[in-house]
């Protein structure tokens, strides 16, 4: 593979955009080499500006479950855009997409659209705090919920469960209201509830974590979390920005029996256009402006072109829910092949699949939380990522991300990917 055009493009981008990218992970800092600059996508493939073609297992970090340039979604976008891009006024497209979401999620009576997952989570946290009158919240190490201040928090010093800023610019006076617990560890959550003086407004969790690699929550843990929130009157928020419409037609809620009080969504519901959403029980959502006192707003919230894209995507998914069986079978075959390729090179690999989501760690033990995830061989992952890229396979550029199968990915492409994995592992270990 030649990357000369991308290398030049990166230099030029770096002059005018911090780090040359508009989102940090795209800089390839966790792996090797320069990020390819993408010219276009088509079906399962990405094409970069050097003319290289890749099988795309990232799909814009999840939104493109039908691959690139899906004809139905493209037609909906073009048809809607011809009527105008934005009005700042209500449209029936928002109602239609809201009705689709409400019809699928038992936990959602009403939903509000925003422009990103970050905005959805930030707004849901504010609503939970406004509804309960409490300031403290609980999140889990290794879960990512976007970059709003209350969520850019890492575990505090010592045994303290109180959060400390994970980024400069986040006031300690704010992050102290975010308590940190360990994923799949209910005792650590109990410690947070006991440590909070003013009470916990909400617990937010990725019920299928996709931002420390793919690490699903144990069903028993989610049940215990539900009970704990009920005991203390705290709101349980499932952040399904990634798992929504990816783990199943109902996200993690199509797999677990636990029902949250609020849900955040994104990615697939915009089909590649900027859309986030937060919803929940009507008595909670009634506190949101203009019905209630908790303020939240957005110029482009519910943008009609974005709504049309999301609606086209959801309608296709609802019309053919067996898609998830097919995508999951492909995901399982892929990770089994990757694992065999690793073992052929005498390297340990553990894998995970949930619906169309897949993950793998270069590790010899199960990954149940962020500490386990951090123990994976990240240097080996970086080499593997580069070797696969050089063989036309575009994997997530961090071992703390999740891979995705789209309907455009064929069995032949899975075979090609597994072959590339054997070659790459052989090369690395030679």
Closest CA relative to residue 263, chosen from 217, 205, 192, 193:
205
Two tokens, residue 180: 């940190």
Given 48, 56, 239, 261, the catalytic residue:
239
**Binding string, residues 163-182; x marks residues near ligand KE4 by CB under 6 A:** --------------------
Among 117, 279, 302, 310, binds ligand KE4 (CB under 6 A): 117
According to the binding rule CB under 6 A, does residue 401 interact with ligand KE4? yes
Among 94, 206, 261, 372, binds ligand KE4 (CB under 6 A): 206
- The reply to whether 144 belongs to the active site is yes
Among 28, 45, 57, 61, binds ligand KE4 (CB under 6 A): 61
Q: Shortest distance, CB of residue 402 to ligand KE4, whole angstroms? A: 7
Burial class (CB in 10 A: 0-12, 13-18, 19+), 4: exposed
Q: Shortest distance, CB of residue 198 to ligand KE4, whole angstroms? A: 25
Interacting residues with ligand KE4 between 272 and 301 (CB under 6 A): 276
Select the span of 140-148, 251-259, 298-306, 373-381 touching ligand KE4 (CB under 6 A): 140-148
According to the binding rule CB under 6 A, does residue 116 interact with ligand KE4? yes
Q: Given the complex with ligand KE4, which of 134 and 145 has the nearer CB atom? A: 145
Burial class (CB in 10 A: 0-12, 13-18, 19+), 103: exposed
Q: Shortest distance, CB of residue 271 to ligand KE4, whole angstroms? A: 13
Q: Shortest distance, CB of residue 419 to ligand KE4, whole angstroms? A: 27
- The reply to whether 239 belongs to the active site is yes
Interacting residues with ligand KE4 between 143 and 162 (CB under 6 A): 144-146
Interacting residues with ligand KE4 between 19 and 38 (CB under 6 A): 23, 25
CA angle centred on 29, ends 397 and 419, rounded to 5°: 35
- The reply to whether 267 belongs to the active site is yes
State the SS3 of 186-227: HHHHHHHHHHCCCCEEEEEECCEECCCCCEECCHHHHHHHHH
Element spanning 371, H or E: helix 370-374
Element spanning 178, H or E: strand 178-181
260 within 8 A of 278, measured Cβ to Cβ = no
In angstroms, the CA 107 to CA 253 distance is 9
Select the span of 4-12, 77-85, 238-246, 312-320 touching ligand KE4 (CB under 6 A): 238-246
Q: How many C-beta atoms surround the C-beta of residue 226 within 10 A?
A: 18
Closest CA relative to residue 318, chosen from 269, 255, 374, 384:
269
Binding site for ligand KE4 (CB under 6 A): 23, 25, 61, 116-118, 121, 144-146, 206, 210-211, 239, 241-242, 266, 276, 401
Catalytic residue set: 144, 239, 267
């Amino acid at each position: 593979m030649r990357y000369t055009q991308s290398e030049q493009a990166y230099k030029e981008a770096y002059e005018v955009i911090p780090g040359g990218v508009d989102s940090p992970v795209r800089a390839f800092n966790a792996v090797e080499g320069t990020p390819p600059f993408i010219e276009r996508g088509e079906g399962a493939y990405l094409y970069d500006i050097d003319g290289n073609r890749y099988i795309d297992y990232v799909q814009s970090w999840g939104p493109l479950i039908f691959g690139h340039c899906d004809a139905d979604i493209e037609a909906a976008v073009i048809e809607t855009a011809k009527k105008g891009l934005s009005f700042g006024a209500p449209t029936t497209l928002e109602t239609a997409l809201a009705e689709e979401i409400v019809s699928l999620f038992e936990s959602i009576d009403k939903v509000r659209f925003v422009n990103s997952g970050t905005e959805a989570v930030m707004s849901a946290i504010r609503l939970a705090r406004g509804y309960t009158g409490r300031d403290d919240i609980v999140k889990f190490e290794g879960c990512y919920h976007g970059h709003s201040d209350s969520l850019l928090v890492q575990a505090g010093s010592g045994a303290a469960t109180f959060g400390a800023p994970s980024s400069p610019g986040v006031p300690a006076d704010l992050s102290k209201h975010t308590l940190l617990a360990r994923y799949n560890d209910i005792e650590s959550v109990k410690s947070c509830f006991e440590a909070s003086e003013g009470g916990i407004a909400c617990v937010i969790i990725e019920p299928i974590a996709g931002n420390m690699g793919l690490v699903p929550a144990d069903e028993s843990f989610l049940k215990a979390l539900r009970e704990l929130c009920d005991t203390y009157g705290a709101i349980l928020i499932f952040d399904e920005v990634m798992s929504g419409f990816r783990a199943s037609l109902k996200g993690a809620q199509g797999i677990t029996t636990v029902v949250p009080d609020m849900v955040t969504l994104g990615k697939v519901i915009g089909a590649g256009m900027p859309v986030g959403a937060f919803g929940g029980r009507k008595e909670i959502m009634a506190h949101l402006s203009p019905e209630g006192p908790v303020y939240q707003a957005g110029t482009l919230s519910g943008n009609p072109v974005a709504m049309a894209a999301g609606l086209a995507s959801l309608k296709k998914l609802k019309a053919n829910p067996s898609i998830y069986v097919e995508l999951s079978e492909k995901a399982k075959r892929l990770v089994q092949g990757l694992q065999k390729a690793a073992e052929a090179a005498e390297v340990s690999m553990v894998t995970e699949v949930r619906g169309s989501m897949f993950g793998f760690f270069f590790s010899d033990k199960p990954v149940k939380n962020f500490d386990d995830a951090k123990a994976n061989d990240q240097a080996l992952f970086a080499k593997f990522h580069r070797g696969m890229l050089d063989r036309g396979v575009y994997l997530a550029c961090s071992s703390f991300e999740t891979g995705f199968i789209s309907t455009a990915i064929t069995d032949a492409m899975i075979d090609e990917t597994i072959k590339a994995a054997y070659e790459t592992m052989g090369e690395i270990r030679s």
